Amino acid sequence: MMAAPLNDRMKLEITTQTVLEPPPAPAADPPQGGKLRVLLLMSDTGGGHRACSNAIAEALVRRFGPDGVEPHILDFFAVGRTTIHDRLTRLYGTAIRVAPWIYGFLWKLMNSKFAYGFLVRSAARKMVPRTVELLRELDPHVVVSVHPLVNALVVRAFEPLGARLPLAIMISDLVTIHVSWVDDQADAIFVATDAARRNVLEWGSRPDRVAVTGLPTSAAFGGGKRDAAEIRREMGLQPDRFTVLVMGGGEGVGALAEICAELNAAGFEGQIIVVCGRNEAVRRKLAARQWRFPAAILGFVDNMPDLMRAADIVAGKGGPQSIAETLASGRPMIVTGVLPGQERGNDTFVADAGAGFAEHRPREIARLLGRLQADPELVAQMRAKAAQALVSGAADRVAARIEELARTRSRAGTAP
């Protein structure tokens, strides 16, 4: 996909999001004065589902205080015996690294109510009893799903559980939404963008239950007091040199090595931070390379907010959480590739917002970065647009809606 030409940069327009939720109150009391128990169900496929869950948990603690809420984040498919759903989630990392086309084929194959319904029925015999046991043990006031394969199984567990718990779905994709995310029994569905909302409504969801909240990110993105120069020095980089953060998501996928090699060959005059995620083979390959400029080569990291702050621009795969965290940090992004299926449209979302470029060819990415280094005015314009591209305060908006669901349950007389 071609990047937008630099001489067309003023034609890029901000994509305006329709915010359906009012700004949340700064603080709240837990329902009926007790500690609110919120169960956030996710899976460690990539890093985005956990990061999104963590951001919601942080917002709940900000809203209720540490003594007023108990957010419990659980990898739903790491509990109990192995099922077909478990196998699918565990294959995710390998599939997107080695053969993303296979992942895309399976995504498309299962993207119908009939096909996905068959998959759910095949897994329900083992997964529903496990889910019932889990809900009885943790006894949440509200369940929040942050993974598409969770929803139907939780809903099917309500009847044998003998209770209908409030269920919210936080869809962690930006534009293209798989049918597995959507369930008519959910009390609320939160989405990141207008495009995602339209996609969800096309699957038949009730409009009054689908809210554009933005995609939750940690408050550390876009916050913090440390400046870029300080962080660069700590990493052994030059404090005042143009810095590019190159990423491949939690699994370290995409053309990381090729992009860096093209920068090296092109005589790039900046410096790079490369996050290889769980892809140790790529990390070792890049660490052994002779660089013509300062380079920090990293594996899986837990200080991404600092790395974003250290960068002038980010180049990386178009995972929704990576995009949301980059934009929340006010950094432009070159989206270097997208997974088939779930990430389709993420790159053009960034480009259409004026917050970056969609460019998948390593050599052109290197050339584009060189041109951007020479055009600080354009980089500054894109930074301003990046901060406006997604709805702000997403995690706090979601926390406010979770409180609303809990209070509804309390008024119904089902709270402890």
CATH number assigned to the domain comprising residue 298: 3.40.50.2000
Question: Does residue 221 lie within any of the structural domains?
Answer: no
**pTM (two decimals):** 0.86
First-to-last CA distance in the chain? 54
Question: Does residue 325 lie within any of the structural domains?
Answer: yes
Residue-wise pLDDT for 284-327, tens only, equals 999 999 999 999 999 989 899 999 999 999 999 999 999 999 99
203 & 293 share domain: no
235 & 187 share domain: no
24 & 169 share domain: yes
Residue 405 token pair: 């669901």
C-alpha dist (Å) from residue 368 to 3, 6, 270, 311, 373: 8, 9, 13, 16, 9
373 & 339 share domain: yes
Q: What is the pLDDT of residue 245?
A: 98
262 & 181 share domain: no
- Residues 414 and 161: beta-carbon distance below 8 Å: no
34 & 174 share domain: yes
Residue span of the structural domain in which 157 resides: 16-215+392-411
Question: Does residue 6 lie within any of the structural domains?
Answer: no
C-alpha dist (Å) from residue 87 to 172, 300, 309: 21, 23, 37
Give the single-character DSSP code of 207: G
3-state helix, strand, coil in the chain (%, to 5): 45, 15, 40
Question: Does residue 4 lie within any of the structural domains?
Answer: no
Q: Report the Cα 367 to chain-centroid distance in Å.
A: 28
26 & 54 share domain: yes
187 & 316 share domain: no
Residues belonging to the chain: 416
Q: What is the pLDDT of residue 278?
A: 81
Mean pLDDT, the chain, as a whole number?
87
The region of weakest confidence among 46-50, 141-145, 238-242 is 46-50
Instruction: Give, to the nearest 10 degrees, the angle between helix 151-161 and helix 113-138.
Output: 50
For residue 387, give the nearest of 318, 320, 313, 330 by alpha carbon: 330
For residue 140, give the nearest of 124, 169, 164 by alpha carbon: 164
**Cα separation of 273 and 80, whole Å?**
39
146 & 253 share domain: no
Question: Does residue 101 lie within any of the structural domains?
Answer: yes
Task: Using the predicted structure, report yes or no on whether residue 172 has a pLDDT greater than 60.
Answer: yes
51 & 174 share domain: yes
Question: Does residue 233 lie within any of the structural domains?
Answer: yes
Total of domains in the chain: 2
333 & 364 share domain: yes
